[in-house]
Structure 1
């Protein structure tokens, strides 16, 4: 039988999802290994969410925060994290559901791989769309991604409800004051932020979360955002502002000698993809200003690509 030694917090953010909230909280409560605390933040809902939350008032490990003003998803993340005491923080949107073995499976992985800072997993879609979404076919060590994220905006993660992060990483990110920028898609802050502050990321290929598809689902209905021709432009500038804030908060600076930093970073991925190499080639070519080190970096990276290919570790 698995014995839990790490303190865990589940942060549930809710806004007008009263019809789904009960299932979400129940899924967090009914894990094969129990969360030490479940924190529900209601972002000033106008439906009967408060009544649903009140049903859990007798649960000893459930806390709740009812906000008086609607400020968006990032604000809820901030509030929940400030109230959390866990060593590993798990995130759950109020319209999604954890599989019963989600926490146990994830904790076993954290215990087995002590260098792991950030995990995201496969998920099953349900509701108006059915299916399983997997980023990779097998569990994967994705290494470090500071440089890829900083220079290309690489987004290595998944939907909010699949994310878990060690406290020492997330405290370098949250709270973030730019709440108006991230009323929705605040998982961007977690995914990008974790990479920037040096999280070692892993992926679990087992679908451990059920992701509900419905009309008001923000992430799935990206086509409505895409209809706004300025959306990606706005997101680009919000990303830059976010990166600047996190870099300043942690006294980080742009790395020197991209020839070596790119090579060292890709070496942290046991089985890199060709696309990974292309990203680092692009970074060296575009952002290394010294011509000698630009050529040197390309040569070093190409030699490593050949070595990985010969060893059979290059993913297509």
Structure 2
């Protein structure tokens, strides 16, 4: 399949990962289909990252941005995107590694599915923890997720290094001004933002990224904070500010007649899960203000669930 017409950019964000950076860059360089550009964004590292980056630029031709002030991951993504020229943007944390066939597989995926705006894939953990993480056992078209993200804050994606999306979607999201709020976990901005602006999301079940687990790993070590109520409360407030910014920037609002729009949205998912139906049922029940449409919407959703079940298109989850 011809994938050469699509221009690609790889944004590698780095902060004090000098010991890992070379392998991350090599993994981006040594793809079976080459990136059109690779840009390293260094967030004012205090180790010898700048020296390593300069050497990499001389020997491999990668581009780079050396920030003068440490401002966190979102700031790096903002600046990297503004410097990128690709039609599809890929993201890589400097401590992670792409499998050699990652770009080729993803591009074939985009080429076969013209409606695809956003792709994330399974990944393989290595380092302090080993194992493969898959959201689903098969490739899936996850449809649109505007309503369930707006109403329930659904997070449909994965960690930064597994993400890619079309430029026209990312232009509606970045740059985001709340850099202090998202010094870490800036993948939240990409995942939530893409849903809010109407990206159609797809999942690749093949583990095409190696996710390094180590003591300084920000995303992995933040998982213990899920049970911390104060952390989740702060994240909820940051999420609200983020949502409001993206909605205002794109002149978006919660649709009228949620029962109708919720049913239309779930129908964009060719193989929905039981969780999807339960979620949309809650949305209609809680957020639909018109009693007639609330009842009609619940009845229509249950009817559609039965039809999906009988056709064997329901996915476990």
Which TM-score bucket, shorter chain as reference?
over 0.9
Q: Which aligned pairs between 1:1-316 and structure 2 lie closer than 5 A?
A: 3-59=3-59, 61-226=61-226, 228-316=228-316
- The alpha carbon displacement at 1:127 in A equals 0.3
Deviations, residues 24-63 of structure 1 (Å, cap 9, x unaligned): 0010011111000001000000000001101122256511
TM-score when normalising by structure 1: 0.98
SS at match of 1:307: helix
CA RMSD of aligned residues (A): 1.2
Structure 2, gaps ≥5 residues long:
none
Structure 1 residues without counterparts, runs of 5 or longer: none
Deviation at 1:312, TM superposition (A): 1.0
Q: Where has structure 1 moved over 6 Å in runs of 4 or more? A: none
- CA distances 1:236-256 after superposition (whole Å, capped 9, x unpaired): 010000000000000001101
**Contact 1:117-1:165 at 8 Å conserved across structures:** yes
Cα distance in 2 between the residues matched to 1:314 and 1:228? 34
After TM superposition, the score normalised by the length of structure 2 is 0.97
Task: Summarize deviations over 1:256-294 as a string: whole Å, max 9, x none.
Answer: 111110000000000101110000000011111111111
Contact 1:36 1:61 in 2 (8 A): no
| Mapped partners of 1:199, 1:142: distance in 2 | 10
Counterpart CA distance in 2 for 1:299 and 1:150 is 22
8 Å Cα contact 1:78/1:174 also seen in 2: yes
The answer to whether the Cα contact below 8 Å between 2:3 and 2:108 also exists between their aligned partners in 1 is no
Q: How many residue pairs align between the two structures?
A: 316
Task: Provide the rounded CA distance (Å) in 1 between the counterparts of 2:311 and 2:282.
Answer: 24
CA distance in 2, matches of 1:270, 1:61: 42
